Amino acid sequence: MFFVDTLEFEGLGNRSYLVGGPRAAVAVDPPRDVDQVIAAAAKRGVRIAYVAETHVHNDYITGGPELARITGASYLVPAAAHVSFARTPVADGDTVTVDEGLVLRALATPGHTPHHTSYVLKEDGRGAAAFTGGSLLIGTVGRPDLVEPRLTEELARAQHASAHRLADELDDEVPVLPTHGFGSFCSSSQAEGDATTIGRERTANDALTLDVDTFVAEMLAGLDDVPAYYAHMGPANAAGPAPVDLTPPGRADAGEIAARLAAGEWVVDLRSRTAFAEGHVAGSFNFEGDGKLATYLAWLIPWGKPVTLLADTPERIADAQRELARVGIDRPAAAATGDPAAWIREGERLASFPRARFADLAEVRGRGEEVVVLDVRRDSERAAGHVEGAVHVPVHELYGRLDEVPSGTVWVHCAGGMRAAIAASLLDAAGRAVVAVDDGFDAAREAGLTVTRP
């Protein structure tokens, strides 16, 4: 018998896996904070004999080199990947014995990257699970445009062929266990579902139901924005990331917070958007700790800019520090917790701004008041419909385009409220009068606002 333990990273939309038998296991696509993998192995009472990468990742920093170093495991990396560290190169068809009766076979599945490799676990000679990384995902495939623009169409065609290879070589009941596809921007499209099999994908995945030309055309037409920090992930992973340091950051008092803001550094408040709107340090930005913190903070922040974290509790700081380390934001400059009133100097006041619903916006417009409506969703979301007259600046571009927002009170919205809160905090820090629309976009039409298509 074998086991598969899934490690989920909801903030990044990824998964890692620990798979093995009674004595030994292999870790597939491990996160940078490898203590989680080590703890999972200890709970199972197994030795990590192998660490396997499906590809050089573009969306997070791997913990592979460090996990292999700590455990003494063989580090399996696709032979064609250009890396600068010692590893065990694996080519198509290579196998390793994980435990008695458990064999891991490398299967070349280029497409997400040119060197992408899936791993098929065989139990007593039969396919038992497929670890497909960024190849075959749940209802979709990994995007092919993260390596080199000139290779995008070629890699899209390779994705189609790789999906068919997996389907041709594996039985219908074999579970498909991808790394991406649970909200990750490495996925070419977002599909619903938490688990799948080869058989299910045969009937539901465009890569297996469409001819190659139609598949490629539709996938390329539907590709979404690429987070800016992705440009830093591949090079860091190819060089071999340094071990992560999760020791607590130094404590910042009100004077240090003010000084860091004055120096142009980022001060990030991790509290809920409701709490932030009610009272926050003027000039700070709101990235909710239980939202997609790593994705959006890493996407917006000028790379290398020092960041100070504010939160209700030390535990929230620790969670955020761990998540940010996964995308290369290694050490917060400082941190503060507790009552926001302690984060400002004597004589200063906390800043605030109102929150509202689309019904409130409709009421204001109905009275003839002139307000600016700012839509911070992505282009692909706006294409499905937008509030008539709304200015559009995607949230990941807003920090560099604040001067494009027309004068007046800005009612900012997204699809549900989280990104609107980020945008509202950016505008508030810039001295703009802002109202954060904390509402689902479907409520716009229900409130009587005119929703049109571009």
Rounded to whole angstroms, how far apart are CA atoms 240 and 256? 34
Instruction: Tell me whether residue 174 is exposed, middle or buried, using C-beta atoms within 10 angstroms of its C-beta: 0 to 12, 13 to 18, 19 or more.
Output: buried
Nearest alpha-carbon partner for 441 in 382, 394, 401, 371:
382
pLDDT recorded at residue 291? 79
- The helix, strand and coil proportions of the chain, stated in percent and rounded to the nearest 5, come to 30, 25, 45
pLDDT recorded at residue 189? 74
pLDDT recorded at residue 190? 67
Rounded to whole angstroms, how far apart are CA atoms 129 and 3? 10
**Which tokens sit at 337?**
């917790």
Instruction: Tell me whether residue 430 is exposed, middle or buried, using C-beta atoms within 10 angstroms of its C-beta: 0 to 12, 13 to 18, 19 or more.
Output: middle
Rounded to whole angstroms, how far apart are CA atoms 161 and 327? 30
Rounded to whole angstroms, how far apart are CA atoms 131 and 81? 18
Average pLDDT by stretches of 10, the chain with 454 residues: 94 94 98 97 98 97 97 98 96 98 98 98 96 96 94 97 98 97 80 87 96 97 93 96 95 98 98 98 96 93 97 97 96 97 97 98 93 96 95 97 97 97 98 97 96 86
φ, ψ of residue 202 to 5 degrees: the values are -55, -35
Rounded to whole angstroms, how far apart are CA atoms 423 and 413? 8
Q: What is the reported pTM?
A: 0.94
Rounded to whole angstroms, how far apart are CA atoms 344 and 272? 19
pLDDT recorded at residue 191? 66
Handedness of CA 93, 96, 102, 107 (dihedral sign): negative
pLDDT recorded at residue 192? 67
Rounded to whole angstroms, how far apart are CA atoms 113 and 92? 15
* Largest Cα span, the chain: 75
81: helix, strand or coil = coil
355: helix, strand or coil = strand
In degrees, rounded to 5, the angle at the alpha carbon of residue 223 between the alpha carbons of residues 219 and 227 is: 150
pLDDT recorded at residue 185? 83
Rounded to whole angstroms, how far apart are CA atoms 141 and 155? 11
pLDDT recorded at residue 183? 81
H-run or E-run covering 365: helix 358-366
Rounded to whole angstroms, how far apart are CA atoms 295 and 59? 9
Are 180 and 134 a contacting pair, CB within 8 Å? yes
Rounded to whole angstroms, how far apart are CA atoms 215 and 206? 6
Rounded to whole angstroms, how far apart are CA atoms 193 and 182? 8
In degrees, rounded to 5, the angle at the alpha carbon of residue 377 between the alpha carbons of residues 204 and 410 is: 160
Nearest alpha-carbon partner for 51 in 19, 81, 79:
19
pLDDT recorded at residue 184? 84
* CA-to-CA separations, 314 to 13, 288, 317, 321, in angstroms, rounded: 24, 15, 5, 10
**Which tokens sit at 383?**
């294409």
H-run or E-run covering 294: helix 293-300
Q: Please name the residues in contact with 376: beta carbons below 8 A apart, sequence gap of 6 or more.
A: 392, 393, 394, 395, 398, 412, 413, 414, 419, 420, 422, 423
Nearest alpha-carbon partner for 351 in 252, 287, 433, 422:
433
**Which tokens sit at 185?**
């921007």
